[in-house]
């Protein structure tokens, strides 16, 4: 392998870009997503050596091959050390729910959601890259709930960066909205867009594909369409697996997912050497991914509001990266399928391709009613409280076990992606009492809100960005 990993677009329009290039670009100029042209691979003995590392050291070890020489190992370690210093109650702690089943708690960061693991790293990486290039940047992102609060919290107050986050009007939880809109700092903007998440995400993609606008504003992305957003998410798969017996033992992970970024990070962890036996994809009633893994057809339907709003998605943007792999790096085929999906709302893979990916992936839909029942049962049986998204991950795991898609005596990790206090109305509906609220959240809930309500019109949003960005 060459010393520096280069990156290319899933649609073939850009090749041989550096880590720093893809960080600052976000989305490729042809509308594709960046993927490595080579992959590092950690051997059994290297995995054994990783067991003794703390979280920041492990993150450095795993991410450095993707980043060097743009940043040195020492610089990456400093960013990692700073990134995770503000996490409460340990970093990625495991809770033994029963026998060989564990909950990986990813909600101990500043905004009580798993997005903090990547976003806190990303803000520091951006700042470093812009400083290196003596540039300013504009961040544009869409959120179904937790990405926006994690991004605004991480990027607020950065002198070199203006950030604009689009969230669907009246379609995020009250806590999620407050976590975005309490922020009142120069350069940080929350926009409530009169559409659903897919509408917000579509506007973001269209803004990136408007190359004049992208160049004028030095536009970049913090959604998981940005390759570097995914990198830190690989780490907690390694961290938890190594604590539970890897590399000697294979691990099963169950992941609630809407945009396919978090579970794709699990696939990436396996790709670079982590022994993962199964990745279980949990969907709510917006079950485009479950339907795809069952029949090989990716077909968009209308978004249905649910008790798990961060997963109310019918366009799983990150799936394009797996599609690129499924198609054996055939960028023309990816480009055609994504064109069909954008214009006709549908594309299909072959039966052979579906069989191959189903060797690793299993997918299940969990309804709102099932979500309430899972929260209640886990609370009554184990005195443990899951938020509605984490309940979907756990519910999908139970269905996979029932369908014999998880081996007997397998070590299982179910990802808990948000603090239950972020969804008090759903918790109360399930167990007839409200969750305890962490003190920082209590303060935020009593804060004044600062945000703009705006129409789902790209020109209107672009005008707002140009009017409110600080000078380059």
- pLDDT level of residue 472 (50, 70, 90 thresholds): low
* 115 φ/ψ sector (left φ>0, alpha ψ -120 to 50, else beta): alpha
**DSSP H/E element including 52:** none
In degrees and rounded to multiples of 5, residue 251 shows phi and psi of: -120, 145
pLDDT tens, residue by residue, 365-403: 999 999 999 999 999 999 999 999 999 999 999 999 999
| Mean pLDDT (whole number) for 111-138 | 92
Spell out the domains of the chain, with CATH numbers in brackets.
Answer: 94-112+228-431 (3.40.50.1100)
pLDDT tens-place string over residues 188-206: 999 999 999 999 999 999 9
Rounded to whole angstroms, the Cα distance separating 86 from 63 reads 20
| Helix (H/G/I), strand (E/B), else coil: 54 | coil
| H helix or E strand, kind and range, residue 381 | helix 368-382
Q: How far apart are CA 219 and CA 10, in angstroms?
A: 20
At 70-119, the pLDDT tens digits run: 999 999 999 999 999 988 778 999 999 999 999 999 999 999 999 999 99
Mean pLDDT value of segment 159-170: 94
d(CA 264, CA 472) in angstroms, rounded, equals 35
Do 160 and 133 form a contact (C-beta atoms < 8 A)?
no
Task: For residue range 281-301, list pLDDT tens digits in order.
Answer: 999 999 999 999 999 999 999
- Tell me which residues are annotated as active site: 115
Mapped onto helix, strand or coil, the DSSP state of residue 80 is helix
């Amino acid at each position: 392998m060459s010393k520096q990993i280069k990156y290319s677009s899933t649609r073939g329009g850009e090749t041989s870009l550096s880590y720093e290039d893809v960080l600052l670009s976000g989305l490729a100029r042809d509308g594709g997503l960046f993927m490595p042209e080579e992959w590092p691979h950690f051997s059994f003995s290297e995995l054994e050596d990783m067991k003794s590392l703390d979280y920041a050291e492990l993150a450095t070890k795993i991410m450095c091959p993707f980043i060097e020489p743009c940043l040195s190992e020492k610089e990456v370690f400093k960013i990692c050390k700073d990134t995770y210093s503000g996490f409460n109650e340990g970093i990625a702690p495991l809770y033994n729910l029963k026998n060989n089943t564990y909950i990986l708690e990813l909600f101990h960061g500043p905004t009580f959601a798993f997005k903090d693991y990547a976003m806190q790293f990303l803000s520091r990486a951006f700042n470093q890259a812009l400083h290196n290039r003596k540039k300013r940047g504009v961040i544009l992102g869409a959120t179904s709930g937790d990405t926006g609060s994690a991004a605004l919290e991480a990027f607020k107050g950065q002198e070199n960066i203006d950030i604009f986050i689009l969230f669907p009007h009246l379609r995020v939880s009250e806590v999620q909205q407050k976590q975005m809109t309490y922020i009142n700092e120069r350069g940080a903007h929350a926009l409530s867009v009169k559409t659903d998440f897919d509408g917000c995400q579509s506007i973001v993609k269209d803004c990136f594909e408007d190359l004049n606008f992208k160049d004028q504003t030095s536009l970049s992305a913090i959604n998981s369409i940005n390759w570097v957003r995914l990198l830190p998410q690989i780490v907690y798969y390694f961290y938890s697996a190594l604590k539970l017996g890897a590399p000697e033992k294979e691990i099963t992970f169950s992941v609630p997912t809407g945009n396919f970024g978090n579970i794709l990070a699990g696939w990436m962890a396996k790709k670079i050497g982590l022994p993962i036996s199964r990745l279980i994809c949990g969907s709510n009633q917006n079950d485009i991914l479950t339907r795809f893994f069952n029949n090989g057809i990716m077909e968009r339907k209308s978004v249905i509001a649910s008790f798990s709003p961060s997963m109310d998605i019918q366009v799983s943007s990150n799936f394009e990266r797996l599609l690129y792999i499924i198609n054996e790096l055939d960028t023309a085929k990816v480009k055609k399928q994504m064109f069909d999906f954008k214009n006709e709302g549908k594309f299909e893979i072959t039966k052979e391709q579906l069989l191959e990916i189903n060797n690793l992936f299993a997918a299940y839909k969990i309804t709102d009613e099932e979500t309430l029942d899972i929260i209640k049962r886990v609370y009554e049986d184990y005195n443990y409280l899951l938020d509605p998204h984490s309940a979907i991950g756990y519910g999908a795991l139970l269905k996979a076990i029932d369908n014999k898609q998880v081996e007997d005596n397998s070590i299982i990790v179910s990802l808990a992606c948000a603090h239950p206090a972020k969804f008090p109305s759903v918790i109360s509906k399930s167990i007839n009492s409200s969750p305890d609220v962490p003190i920082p959240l209590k303060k935020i809930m009593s804060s004044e809100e600062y945000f703009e309500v705006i129409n789902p019109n790209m020109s209107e949003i672009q005008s707002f960005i140009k009017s409110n960005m600080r000078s380059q």
